[in-house]
Amino acid sequence: MAQKVYTPSHIFRFIPNIIGYVRVVTLIASLFTMQNHPKFTMWVLYSTSCLLDAFDGYAARKLDQSTTFGAVLDMVTDRCSTCSLIVFLTRLYPNWFILWQMLISLDLASHYLHMYASITSGSKSHKSMKKDTNVLLKLYYENRIVLFLVCALNELFYMALYLDYYNFRALPLIGISFPRFLIYVSAPVWFFKQVTNVIQLMQACTTLAQQDAQTYNLKNS
């Protein structure tokens, strides 16, 4: 029996990657509705894009369709998703524009450097951690439940900030709106995510510097 030969078109049609395309489409659609349709944007389009993030990884493992293209597509979509929403928050809360700029910069820099450091160090995945990796970073990447909850609540924090701008009615008993309640619930996990981003950034810089040091040592030996 002849062995199947895979081409790039086969890879593009893998189920996890198709899920990734749906994430991209729903994300782009949310950008067009974000200004005038907050409920539809967050509860249908943007939330669908975020929730599918859990299913593409599961499908990749279940169907044995893990690919480098899929991993990069997943991370790029995550970054575009988060940064696009933060950009819109600069319009809703302009007095905090420096914070939004810093959060976007930290998110992009930490994940790009981490991905690049993982590739150049020979790791099979950016989620594969070495033994000497920071404890918080290992917990974040190696425990799938923690990874899912942190990513979900981090996005929920930004989503809740977006919805809170539209002055939803206060809930009985607690006296605050549902979006404001979600802000309070997700804020500690959002803060944890920013801490892991800083750790990830520093660890990636150290990894790249160690590789450079080895290169120079070999060159001078």
- How large is the angle between the packed helices 178-220 and 97-120, nearest 10 degrees? 40
Q: If you count DSSP H runs as helices and E runs as strands, how many of each does the chain have, helices first? A: 9, 0
DSSP symbols for 185-199? HHHHHHHHHHHHHHH
For residue 12, the SS3 value is: helix
Q: What is the dihedral of CA 80, 115, 22, 86, to 10 degrees?
A: -20
Active-site residue, 78 included: yes
Which one is catalytic: 56, 74, 78, 164? 78
Amino acid at 7: T
Which residues are identified as catalytic? 78
